Chains A and B, each alone.
Chain A
Amino acid sequence: MANSEKKIDLEQIKHIAELSRLAVSDEEAKGYEEQLNHILDYMDILNEVNTDNVEMTLQVTGLKNVMREDKVIPIESAQNLLEVSELPKINNQIAVKAVIKED
C-alpha cells in the first residue's frame, strides 16, 4: 500500500541536497522528489516487521577494538601526495579558496 502522503517534499530535497553539498537544479530536484518518494513508499514494507526486541547489526565480523602496534612507518612522500591534487600549491600546501568571507 503506497502512502498517498508525500514522504519527502521539494523543500526537503533541496535542504538535504544543500547538506550534501550538491547544488541540484529545480528540475533535478523535482525528478529526485518523485523517485525518492517512490522508493520510500516501498520502504513501508518494513512496518510489517516487529523489531521491538531485536538488536541492530552494525557489522558482521564480531571483531572488537582491533589494535596495532603504535609504531612510525614510512608512507609516501608529501610531494607525491601533493601532486595528486589538481589545485595550486604554495609552500608545499594546497591553496584553497576563502573559507571565511569579509563582510
Chain B
Amino acid sequence: MLENLTLKEASDGLRAKKIKPSELLNDNLERLKNVNTELNIYLTETAEIAKNQASEADLRQEKGNFLSLLDGIPGALKDIVNTKGIRSTSASKILENFIPPYNATVAQKLFDAGLVLTGKTNTDEFACGGTTEFSAFGVTKNPWDKERVAGGSSGGSAAAVASRTCQYAIGTDTGGSIRQPASFCGISGLKVTYGRVSRSGVTAMASSLDTVGPMARTVEDLAMVMEVIAGTDINDSTTPKIDVPKYTELLNQDLKGLKIGIPREYFTEKLDDENRQIIQNALKEYEKMGAVLKEINLPATKYAVAIYYIISPAELSANLARFDGIRYGLKPEGNVDDIADQYYKTRNQGFGPEVKRRILTGNYVLSAGYFDAYYKKALKIRTLIKQDFENAFKDVDVIMCPVTLSSAYKIGAKNDDVLSMYLEDAFTIPASMAGVPSLSIPCGFNSENLPIGLQIIGPQFSEDKILNIGHQFQLMTDWHKKSAI
C-alpha cells in the first residue's frame, strides 16, 4: 500500500522511521509489475539498480544521514534524460542500444540526492509529439482509460506517477510536453522558466525552448523536487546565476488580493464545453480564496502554433544532424558502400516518420529563399508573444487558462491529420515561446471520468509564486487525490 504515499508523505514517513526505503520500493515495484505490461510506461525498468539504491538509503536512514528530502524515494526519468550505464533511447531506434558514458546534470543531482530509480519512461521519439504514439516502442496508455493516450511527449512519466509506480518523475517540456500529459493523467506538472533547470545531458529537441521539470501527484511534491534540480550549471550556459528559492518553505502565502488574468484567447469556441465549465469552477475556487479575476488579452496567441512548427523543427533538424551513427547510435543493417551511404542508412533506419517530417520541415524553413519568409518571420512573432506576456504581467500577478482543448483522446484519433494534431498544442506553446514558467494541476473530471487540468502561468523565475498558488488550490480541493487505479 506504500505506493499510494505522495512524495511528501513518503519523505515524512522515512524521517519518522515509520517506513523503510526498501519497503517503499517493494510496494512501488509490485505496482509497476502489475501495470507496466498493459500500460507500456517504462522503456527500461531498473529494479535491480533501485534495490541497491534503496538498501543504501536504508543504511543512511538508520544513521539519520539523509542526503535530501528525496532520499530513498522512488522516481522515474524520461528516457531522453541520459543516465550513465543505463540504456537511454530517446524512444528512437537510432539510440535503441545506446548506453551513455555520463549522467545528465538533472540525473546526477537526483542520484546525489538519493533517487531510487524505477526506470526510464516512454516518450514520443526525441520528444516530438503529444501522445507517445511516435515512440519507436509503442504508445503509453492512459491509466484512467486504457483506450486513450496518456499524452506526451512525457506520457510515460505522467503515467508512471498516475499509476503510482513511483512518487515523482522527471519530464521535459518544449511546447507542452509536461503540462499536457500531466493534465491528461490527473497529476501535477511544472514547466520551469527556460534556464531554471540544466538541460545538459538531456537529448536536445528545440534548444531555445527545451525545459526539464518535475511531475508528481501534488504541487508540494513538485516543490520538493525543484529544490534539488533547479540552479545554474557550468555545462549549460543558458542557466542564469539566480538563487534557487526554498520552494517548500514558500507554500503558505494566502491569496487575498491576488490578481489573476483570464486570457480571452484561451476561451474560444474550440475549447470543449465541459472543460470550460470545469476551468470556470476552478476559478471560482480562487475567488473564494480572495483572488480577483481580470479578463486580459494575449493577441498574438493565435500565431503560436504556426511559429512553433517553424522554430522547433528548425532547431530539431540542426540538433539531429549530429546523429550519424559513428560515435554512437545505430549500426545500419545491410551493406554500406561509403560514408554517405552510412549516413543515409543509419538515419533512414533509425528515425521514425514524425522525426523525419520535422527534419524536412526544419531544413526547408532554414533553406535559402525561405529563411526570411518562415524562420525570421517566426522569430519576430515570437517577440510579439513574449511582449504579450510582459504586458499582461504589468496588470496581473498570474494567468490562468486551460492546458488543453479537451481531455485525453482515443489512441489513433489524431493520426490522419498532422496539422490538427499540431493544433492541439495551442494553449501550451505560448508560455514556451515566452520562456515563462507554467504549472498544470488537476482541477476536475469530465462526465467520462477523465481528468482536466488548470494552467497557471507566471512571469520568468516565479516558480515559487505559481507553486504556492497551485498548492493553495490543493489545500481546498481533492481532485489531486483521486486514484486512476
Chain A residues with a Cβ under 8 A of chain B: 8, 12-13, 16-17, 19-24, 28, 32, 35-36, 38-40, 42-43, 45-46, 49, 51, 54-63, 66, 68, 76, 80-81, 83-87, 94, 96-99, 101
Known: A20-B363, A57-B383, A68-B234. A99 touches B339 (CB 8 A): yes
For this complex, 22 residue pairs linking A to B, each with C-beta atoms less than 8 Å apart, are A16-B364, A16-B367, A20-B317, A20-B359, A21-B321, A21-B340, A22-B356, A23-B348, A38-B418, A39-B419, A45-B306, A46-B306, A46-B381, A49-B381, A51-B377, A59-B208, A86-B97, A86-B331, A94-B326, A96-B342, A97-B336, A98-B339
B101 at the interface (CB under 8 A from A): yes
Within the complex, the shortest CB–CB distance from A89 to chain B, in Å, comes to 11
Q: What sequence of 0s and 1s flags, for each residue 338-352 of chain B, a beta carbon within 8 Å of any chain A beta carbon?
A: 111111110110010
Is the pair B386, A32 in contact by a Cβ cutoff of 8 Å?
no
Is the pair A35, B357 in contact by a Cβ cutoff of 8 Å?
yes
Q: Report the Cα distance A11→B293, complex, angstroms.
A: 54
Within the complex, the shortest CB–CB distance from A96 to chain B, in Å, comes to 6
Is the pair B380, A36 in contact by a Cβ cutoff of 8 Å?
no
Is the pair A43, B374 in contact by a Cβ cutoff of 8 Å?
yes
Contacts of A84 in B (CB 8 A): 98-101, 327-328
B448 at the interface (CB under 8 A from A): no
Is the pair B342, A97 in contact by a Cβ cutoff of 8 Å?
yes
Is the pair B306, A63 in contact by a Cβ cutoff of 8 Å?
no
The chain A residue sitting closest to B460, CB to CB, is A60
Contacts of B240 in A (CB 8 A): 61-63
Within the complex, the shortest CB–CB distance from B312 to chain A, in Å, comes to 12
Is the pair B208, A58 in contact by a Cβ cutoff of 8 Å?
yes
Within the complex, the shortest CB–CB distance from B89 to chain A, in Å, comes to 14
Known: A16-B360, A22-B348, A42-B306. A63 touches B238 (CB 8 A): yes
By the criterion of a CB under 8 Å from any partner CB, how many residues of chain B are at the interface?
Answer: 69
Contacts of A86 in B (CB 8 A): 97, 325, 328-331
B111 at the interface (CB under 8 A from A): no
The 8 Å CB contact of B337, one of A40, A46, A97, is A97
Is the pair A22, B351 in contact by a Cβ cutoff of 8 Å?
yes
Within the complex, the shortest CB–CB distance from B219 to chain A, in Å, comes to 24
The chain A residue sitting closest to B99, CB to CB, is A84
The 8 Å CB contact of A85, one of B238, B328, B351, is B328
- Judged by DSSP, the binding face of B is helix
Within the complex, the shortest CB–CB distance from A48 to chain B, in Å, comes to 8
Is the pair A46, B307 in contact by a Cβ cutoff of 8 Å?
yes
Residues of B377-393 at the interface with A, using a CB-CB cut-off of 8 Å, are 377-384, 386
Q: Report the Cα distance A15→B219, complex, angstroms.
A: 49
Q: Report the Cα distance A48→B179, complex, angstroms.
A: 29
Q: What sequence of 0s and 1s flags, for each residue 283-313 of chain B, a beta carbon within 8 Å of any chain A beta carbon?
A: 0000000000000000010110011011000
Known: A22-B348, A32-B357, A96-B339. A46 touches B419 (CB 8 A): no
Contacts of A16 in B (CB 8 A): 360, 363-364, 367
Contacts of B377 in A (CB 8 A): 46, 49, 51
Is the pair A45, B302 in contact by a Cβ cutoff of 8 Å?
yes
Q: Report the Cα distance A47→B379, complex, angstroms.
A: 13
B195 at the interface (CB under 8 A from A): yes
Is the pair B422, A39 in contact by a Cβ cutoff of 8 Å?
yes
Within the complex, the shortest CB–CB distance from B210 to chain A, in Å, comes to 12
